[in-house]
Chain A
Amino acid sequence: MRKILLVLVILLIAFSLQAEVLFTGNVTAEGSVGLPYTETAFKANSGILEFDFDLSAYKGNLSFQLTADVTLDGVKDASKDNSYFFPNFKRGYLSISELYLDYFYNAFSIRVGRQLVSWGAADFLTVTNIICPEDFTSLFGDDFYDFRLGIDTVKFSYNGDNTILDFYWTPLFTRTALPLEEGNPIKRILVPETISVGGTSINVKDFTSDDIASPSLSFNSAEYGARFSRYQSFVDYSFYAFYGYENYPMMTYTLSDNTLSIKGGYSKTVMFGADASVPMGDKTIRFETAYFPIRPYQTSAQSQLLYSTKSYEEHRALEALAGIDFMGDVWTLSGQYYASYVFGDVSKLDRKAFDNKATLSISRTFNGDEFEISLSTIIGLNVLDTVFNPVIKYRITDNLLLILSGRIMNPGPKEKGEYGKYKELSSIAFSGVFTY
């Protein structure tokens, strides 16, 4: 309600200024069914109708931006008898990605309100891009908006000649969106009904968003970020700094009457990062790195229950990525290699000290950009689990786009891995997007 009131107030201001107003949006209808070899074979596991819109108003040095969407789940109404494998998890709701006022004077600007911020040079993978919390409620999406949540922040900028300097002060904490709503298929995988500890099967108590505590509103809980970017002929480079909360809440596991209870809470992290993009002939080479002098890492449920360890341990960590892009007339190719290393004793952590993965994306357009086929893959090199995302796009008109896509996750030969654990959610999706 507060959000809606805020929208109305700012809209009123914008229109009272007789601003230049731009309005655009999409209506997206998407349905997906499980692939034949999965538990959801031929059953609908999503049926979503989404209205998203973008309202911009400009008046002199002042501008206003609202980006929001309303999502409805059509399968929910059609499956009241629960005949579908997954009951529906997405309810009709308004979600505001961005809502801010921006004022600039010469090279200086201030932006206040909810904003989406993208840092770094990586695609799909996260190295320095930790300022906005992630949205884990769905596995696939097209835009940055689908995977990130806007932060309620104040941004001060200096925009010089080929130089950008941004400072962020985020007094209001934004929680990461976790797939904890009833019926979200991802929840079934992340929060199973039972787990095995030391060979004993233990029931898991239902875990909801209410079980995660957010930091209280205080000066000490504010987050801070800074970015310095410079764009030059031979190289573009940026430096980043962040002090705030880790994206994932740290989970505390407690056992009582053979039932496992989970509680979550957020912990602070510190990051210094840098990226660079170097054009080399018909290719661009990208680098990105982040050093964390303090980063909380989740301890495993087993170590918490057997050895009474804390929910997390703080470690130093280093992440790095190298990528190469080729953009031809009709072909686009992109490859990346990512590695992360956690320093110190990691025996009680829920991850290995060294992790690495690679991505590859290929796309080709036909007949202008009327028809496009693409394939994006991620390979977890530690356990060889994979994600394949083949997509076919056909643009009927400038306003109407049809998309057929596969979402295929495969576990590694010995372990499921970060991506392989979602194998049962492998599906084929069909969607239509109408742009207005």
Chain B
Amino acid sequence: MKKFSLLMFLLICCSLTLFAEPTAYEIMKMSKELPAPTAVSEKAKLTIHSKKGKDRVRNVIMMSKDYGDVEKSVIVFTSPKDVAGVGYLMFNYTEEADGSQKPSDNWLYMPAMKKTRRIASSGSDSENSFMGTDFTYGDMDDRALSKDDFTLLGSEIVDGVECYKIKCESHDRKEKDPDRISYISKSDYTFRKCEYYDRQGTLHRVLTCYGIKEIDGYLITTGMRMDNVQSGTYSFYELSDIKVNSNEVEDGIFNVAVLERRAIR
């Protein structure tokens, strides 16, 4: 009888372990660690919708490659014509085990001035607008888990997909949007939606992801919309011509000379 009770107890413990919900941190970690291609080449269409109802469209070519300790990216505007040829070169360094991160290296090539300028980087840069859109550079970055505390708030359906609802509280309370509520798909751990709250705790922006496709075995989000509920503006970010681990993304393209020669167009 004693043996049976012990066996039952062990079975219950195992079942609880197997079927228990992961913690908020584990969910965010699984989402962050989804397989990602080493090199990506894509075209992006950025649509900026102003408060007055006007749409402005920017088209860019983006290429990036992950070298382990550093991710190198190059972004070149192809339209509108007044900014065509403007290029960014960025080296984003991976976070160290102790949570520290080397500042990114950034260069900007301006065809009108025939010059490449060194652009400073800092923590606050990540909160700057990404190319005049409602997205910030930080939104486009792979945010380190060590920067936030996570709390699982429950589940919610987003666009027909059941998601974990997780509160992310930044350790740095001086950030423009120190609190976020993220929605992570329960089935594949893809990021589906995020609500950004400002320092006063008021809803500031809402990110919605769509067009999640499997390309060469990788789950790629091809569309994002960021609504700034406070200003009434919104921006779309749509990807096309996505090529993963393509030979097109050569090591040699991540340098200033490529921007100056306008080799990416």
- For B80, the chain A residues whose CB sits under 8 A away are 398-399, 435
Binary flags per residue of A295-311, CB closer than 8 Å to B gives 1, else 0: 00000000000000000
Stretch at the interface among A207-215, A246-254, A278-286, A416-424: A278-286
- For B51, the chain A residues whose CB sits under 8 A away are 367
**How far is the CB of A131 from the nearest CB of chain B, in Å?**
11
**By CB atoms of chain A within 10 A, which of B82, B91, B122 has the most?**
B82
**How far is the CB of A189 from the nearest CB of chain B, in Å?**
28
A143-B113, A277-B118 given as contacts; is B132 within 8 A of A159 (CB)?
A: no
In the assembled complex, B159 has its CB within 8 A of some CB on chain A:
no
Binary flags per residue of A89-118, CB closer than 8 Å to B gives 1, else 0: 000000000000010100101000000111
Does B257 contact A233, Cβ atoms closer than 8 Å?
no
Does B261 contact A102, Cβ atoms closer than 8 Å?
yes
Number of A-B contacts (CB under 8 A): 111
Set B84, B107, B114: member contacting A116, Cβ < 8 A: B114
Binary flags per residue of B237-251, CB closer than 8 Å to A gives 1, else 0: 000000000000001
- For B128, the chain A residues whose CB sits under 8 A away are 328-329
Q: How many residues of B contact A (CB 8 A)?
A: 45
In the assembled complex, A58 has its CB within 8 A of some CB on chain B:
yes
Residue of B nearest to A282 (CB): B122
Set B54, B105, B125: member contacting A233, Cβ < 8 A: B105
Does A282 contact B120, Cβ atoms closer than 8 Å?
yes
A118 to B103 alpha-carbon distance, docked (Å)? 28
Does A368 contact B81, Cβ atoms closer than 8 Å?
no
In the assembled complex, B143 has its CB within 8 A of some CB on chain A:
no
**How far is the CB of A62 from the nearest CB of chain B, in Å?**
12
In the assembled complex, A216 has its CB within 8 A of some CB on chain B:
no
- For B124, the chain A residues whose CB sits under 8 A away are 282, 328
Residue of A nearest to B134 (CB): A368
Set B82, B91, B258, B262: member contacting A56, Cβ < 8 A: B262
In the assembled complex, B48 has its CB within 8 A of some CB on chain A:
yes
Residue of B nearest to A283 (CB): B120
A25 to B112 alpha-carbon distance, docked (Å)? 12
In the assembled complex, B34 has its CB within 8 A of some CB on chain A:
no
Does A398 contact B113, Cβ atoms closer than 8 Å?
no
- For A231, the chain B residues whose CB sits under 8 A away are 107, 255-256
Does A284 contact B120, Cβ atoms closer than 8 Å?
yes
Binary flags per residue of A125-166, CB closer than 8 Å to B gives 1, else 0: 000000000000000001111000000000001010110100
A104-B261, A161-B252, A231-B255 given as contacts; is B120 within 8 A of A281 (CB)?
A: yes
A231-B256, A233-B105 given as contacts; is B122 within 8 A of A281 (CB)?
A: yes
A159-B261, A233-B105 given as contacts; is B120 within 8 A of A145 (CB)?
A: no
Does A327 contact B119, Cβ atoms closer than 8 Å?
yes
CB under 8 Å from chain A, chain B span 99-132: 102-103, 105-107, 112-115, 117-122, 124-125, 127-129, 132
- Which A residues lie at the B interface, using CB under 8 A? 22, 24-26, 56, 58, 102, 104, 107, 109, 116-118, 142-145, 157, 159, 161-162, 164, 229, 231, 233, 236, 277-284, 325-330, 365, 367-370, 397-399, 401, 435-436
A selection of 22 A-B contacts at a CB cut-off of 8 Å is: A22-B265, A24-B81, A25-B81, A109-B261, A118-B115, A143-B113, A144-B115, A145-B112, A161-B252, A236-B107, A236-B118, A279-B118, A279-B119, A282-B122, A284-B118, A284-B120, A329-B129, A367-B51, A368-B129, A369-B132, A397-B54, A398-B79
For the complex of A and B, 4 pairs with smallest distance between CB atoms = A159-B257, A282-B122, A398-B80, A277-B118
